[in-house]
Structure 1
Amino acid sequence: MKQSKQFLRAKYLDKLKKMSDHDRQKINKQLQKSLFQCEEWLHANIIGITISQTHEWETWPIIEQAWLENKQVAAPKCDPATKQLSFYLINSKQDLAVQHYRLMEPISEQTIYVRPNDLDLLLVPGLVYDRDYYRIGYGGGYYDRFLANYHHSSISLVWREQIVDELLHEPFDQPVTHLIIVN
């Protein structure tokens, strides 16, 4: 029997929040190393990526590596009225501020909007994944809406403990195109 999205969301969020700093750092380094070696990363010029929260896999080192490799970085901004994501190019932490849902998001007045399919690679956050690349995120459906019309590579960084055989998915749920999984 498949478990409900709400149950799995709570279970895996709790699991990630309770992870030791040592284990989190080890997994972060493995995920980053694997990402930086994958074809999608190597060929991407503009990367869409969230600014991670403390229980998520760290994205700031990924952002800094992208800049070192002369890639452009676009961070998402949520629109709670439409439940849509918009991405804006960022060049430093000064381009960000705490906004909707207490997330660090681009300050739209000082950053440049990026059309969805101008992103070569999209890193998609999530809490639990299945073997068909479906995911359960935080429940707003923002990434599912975005992925429905996005036509390039999307990758999620995943610790093996975040994988289940199969998730319940609805017609509007969208899988990512690749998972980078580490032990």
Structure 2
Amino acid sequence: MAIQVAKQSLRQRIIAAREQLTVADRTRLSHAISVRIANLNAYRTANTVLAYMNFGAEVSTEKWVQQALRDGKCVLMPKVNCATKELDVYRVTNLQHDLAPGKWNILEPLVERCDKINSLQDVDFILLPGIAFGRDGARLGYGGGFYDKLLARIKNVNPSYCPALVAGAFAIQLVEGIPQETTDHKVEWVVTETETIKV
């Protein structure tokens, strides 16, 4: 229980700090982060990327996703499956037509417009959301375990297969000593507005 309490306390602290940023600051910093992510060699060489749409005071991902579509990437996005408590993945080709608010009001793929992707073996690059990140690659999510379960699914199918795991975060989201459990997956890159950290 102690680790859960520590995680929740850290979540509240970082979310509060993130919400202190003005909309203008978040827009400016998000742009800088998007440019840095797009300059990663792992992104440039990727054919298929798994992205997400931000919500709340998260780093804005929309411009980066638009860039990926313009770059001719196959863009996949997750949708919460309430029955399985896991993420289903769909291909998205147009942000205006293919997405609608889903669980927690996050933009998600419309199942009637998008193709469901059952095999994730072609994914080269995954952009992961989160609340806090460490220089050691530790990631603190929102507590639902959705992405950890998704990454476990990918690894279970082919243990040797490893897409690039990347997080875009404001510098204020960098934290030392994030509590970790055995089910928590680490990222390989943490990209902030000021630096690109290779774990």
Structure 1 CA distance, aligned partners of 2:70 and 2:174? 31
Alignment partner, residue 45 of structure 1:
47
Write 1 or 2 for the structure with the bigger share of strand.
1
Per-residue Cα deviation, 1:120-167 (whole angstroms, up to 9, x for no partner): 111000110112211111110001111224321110012221111111
Aligned equivalent of 1:94, options 92, 97, 102? 97
8 A Cα contact 2:130 2:140, kept in partner? yes
Structure 2 CA distance, aligned partners of 1:51 and 1:43? 22
8 A Cα contact 1:77 1:105, kept in partner? yes
Aligned equivalent of 1:169, options 159, 162, 180? 180
Q: Which runs of 5+ in 1 are unaligned?
A: none
Q: CA deviation at 1:19?
A: 0.7
TM-score (structure 2 length as normaliser): 0.85
- Paired AA for residue 78 in structure 1: V
Between Structure 1 and Structure 2, how many residues are aligned? 182
Secondary structure at 1:23 match in 2? helix
Alignment partner, residue 124 of structure 1:
128
Q: CA deviation at 1:28?
A: 0.9
- Paired AA for residue 177 in structure 1: E
Structure 2 CA distance, aligned partners of 1:139 and 1:116? 23
Structure 2 CA distance, aligned partners of 1:106 and 1:36? 23
In the TM superposition, 1:33-182 aligns within 5 A as 33-92=35-94, 93-114=96-117, 115-150=119-154, 151-182=162-193
Structure 2 CA distance, aligned partners of 1:134 and 1:81? 28
Structure 1 CA distance, aligned partners of 2:84 and 2:123? 21
Per-residue Cα deviation, 1:62-85 (whole angstroms, up to 9, x for no partner): 111111111121110111232211
Structure 1 CA distance, aligned partners of 2:90 and 2:56? 22
Alignment partner, residue 15 of structure 1:
17
- Paired AA for residue 168 in structure 1: P
Structure 2 CA distance, aligned partners of 1:62 and 1:120? 16
Per-residue Cα deviation, 1:66-115 (whole angstroms, up to 9, x for no partner): 11111121110111232211211111121111122222111122211222
- Paired AA for residue 74 in structure 2: Q
8 A Cα contact 1:131 1:166, kept in partner? no
Structure 2 CA distance, aligned partners of 1:14 and 1:117? 37
